[in-house]
Amino acid sequence: MPLPVNPWRGIIAGTGGHREPPSPRQPGQLPLVCNAFGARRLIIHGNEKMIRDTIKAAQVAAMKSGDKARLAAVRLILAKLKDKDIELRTAASLPDDDTLVTDVLQKMMKQRRESIAMYEQGGRPELAAAEAAEVAVIEDFLPAQMGEDEVKAAIEAIKAELGAAGPKDMGRVIAELKARHGTVIDMGKASALVKAALA
């Protein structure tokens, strides 16, 4: 039996990984690495940490640096994660923790982008700016997202595997797409791409 592939092998010490995010880090923002599948882990003293650990470490870093705005945003993220943990206490099965965290972050992003549009239309640029600042913090912890062409290619591959040929197969394709790539795809946008691919 072949050994399972370790997607994290070779990401330390310049052997194939790269730091995320690509933009210069702000004070209190911690270094991340990104593997070939887009999932992030924090590297502290050579140890790998998952996204939730990255967020907790960012809270400590923000406290030490005195970045009150970033600290408030990180605490809000942790509060949402706690709510989700409580919600899932009675669930029959639990998702992978990175998947759970990414889902919460993506929903927070969507809510804030909708708020930004609403505030801009209502002539409240200061509120839109506050929401945008939270978006920037949330983005720090999201795995690198697949590009549109990559999403389309993934959809076509799943279509071929499932034998999907029309709108009636949309639910199956979306479910499989989320199962395989949910942490690195905006499923809201992906749903529209699946609909177009099956039209």
| C-alpha of 184 from chain center | 6
pLDDT higher than threshold 70 for residue 187: yes
Exposed/middle/buried for residue 144 (C-beta within 10 Å: 0-12, 13-18, 19+): middle
pLDDT confidence of residue 50: 87
Structural domain 18-141, CATH architecture: Orthogonal Bundle (1.10)
The Cβ-side half-sphere exposure at 72, using a 13 Å CA radius, reads 8
Question: How do the domains of the chain map onto residue ranges?
Answer: 18-141, 148-197
Task: Check if the beta carbon of residue 54 is closer than 8 Å to that of residue 77.
Answer: no
pLDDT in tens, 72-114: 999 999 999 999 999 999 888 888 888 889 889 989 998 999 9
| Distance, CA of 170 to CA of 20 (rounded, Å) | 33
Q: DSSP label at 139?
A: H
Peptide bond into 4 cis (omega under 30): no
| Distance, CA of 134 to CA of 126 (rounded, Å) | 13
**Closest-CA residue to 104 (of 88, 91, 127, 128):** 88
pLDDT confidence of residue 49: 57
pLDDT in tens, 37-75: 333 444 433 334 589 999 999 999 999 999 999 999 999
**Closest-CA residue to 39 (of 146, 118, 158):** 146
pLDDT in tens, 130-181: 999 999 999 999 888 889 999 999 999 999 999 998 999 999 999 999 888 8
At the topology level, CATH places domain 148-197 in Arc Repressor Mutant, subunit A (1.10.10)
pLDDT in tens, 118-134: 999 999 999 999 999 99
Which residue shows structure tokens 């209502």? 122
| Distance, CA of 71 to CA of 137 (rounded, Å) | 9
